[in-house]
Amino acid sequence: MKNIFLVLLVLNVFTSCKTSVYSVENKNNSEFKSVEIDTLFQDKISIRAILIDANKVWFAADKGRFGFFNLDNNQKFESKIIKDSLKLEFRSNAKTKKHIFILNVGNPALLYQISKDGKETKLVYQENHEKVFYDSMQFWNDREGIAMGDPIADCLNIIITRDGGNSWNKVSSDKLPKVMDGEAAFAASNTNIIIKGNNTWIVSGGKKSRVFYSPDKGNTWTVYDTPIVQGKSMTGIFTADFYDAQTGFVAGGDYELRNQNFSNKAITTDGGKTWKLIAENKAFGYASCMQYVPKSNGKGMVTVGFSGVYYSWDGGNSWKQLSTDSTLNTIRFIDNHTAIAAGQNKMIRISFK
């Protein structure tokens, strides 16, 4: 049926509103001693995927919406994709030099290529299946990208582009590791896929919570176990990040017991082959997104989720709560002292002092 694209251009100038200032004790005299939070915009919206592209913060959201906030002029652009009577929810986005990409989470999977001004939108991939559920998308470079979703058969559902996102092809199941019964993933913050150079990690959750690793941009895969809580449909790894090819961190927990702060965070120093639980019975419970602080030598980390915003300055051993805001789903750093976070009904800027 005919696709209808309704583009809404919102050029309201938002005054950045300082909402909170928090003090942070720092035992090691590291960078962050306080944090300021400014609201960039508020709306009735659910955002689980953001990315930084020069002066713009792109977001992918519910009700078929996507757009960006321009940090230079404090203007918000929002667009909406309407396809038939579908209720589209975009939980993944990614970028190349020429385009932005957004991916609908459910059936049918719809992957759109968007111009950098947000005005031109093209459907480049569609997948119809009752089990389709895409969780995350990233690019290795301007030509090659990957998206992953929950299993349809006996492996993760993975598609790859090698032509800049113009076409996408499903990876054959015989080239992927088999999943365990009840193993899937969570579309919590577009952090199921992590890329460093040619290295790629995909994290899973549910009744089994593991790390899938490819050293060659998705051509071959190995899978590693983790000690993260698992065994139920809403347990496991919800988010991950790598500082470099060796140093990584996974977090998540039990979504049904969101205050539970053990077996929900782990570190690796060997590229994901082995994982060690850290900060047991300390700090946050369920976390939907974590990111390394740039230029922190792998020591600085920030998480958002049900417990609020937490910060570690020593590689995850110690944590300090920066904010009690439990409505944030995702966070990305602009530089080593500024991050953008979004979630339920808002986007904010966090300035670390």
pLDDT, tens digit, 9 for 90 and up, residues 72-93: 999 999 999 999 999 999 999 9
* CA torsion through residues 27, 30, 34, 37, sign: negative
Summarize pLDDT for 7-46 with one digit per residue, the tens: 444 434 343 454 555 444 434 445 687 789 999 999 999 9
Residue for token pair 């702060």:
261
CA 116, chain centre distance (Å): 20
pLDDT digits (tens, 9 = 90+) for 127-140: 999 999 999 999 99
CB atoms within 10 A of CB 39: 16
**Entry field: residues in the chain:** 353
Q: What is the pTM of this model?
A: 0.92
- Flag whether pLDDT at 346 surpasses 50: yes
Q: At 90, list the tokens.
A: 């975009």
Structure tokens of 19?
Answer: 């909402």
Per-residue pLDDT tens digits for 95-150: 999 999 999 999 999 999 999 999 999 999 999 999 999 999 999 999 999 999 99
Tokens of 154: 């006996």
Q: Which CATH superfamily is domain 3-352 in?
A: YVTN repeat-like/Quinoprotein amine dehydrogenase (2.130.10.10)
Of 286, 298, 296, whose CA–CA distance to 248 is shortest?
A: 298
Using alpha carbons, select from 113, 114, 142, 111 the residue that is nearest to residue 127.
111
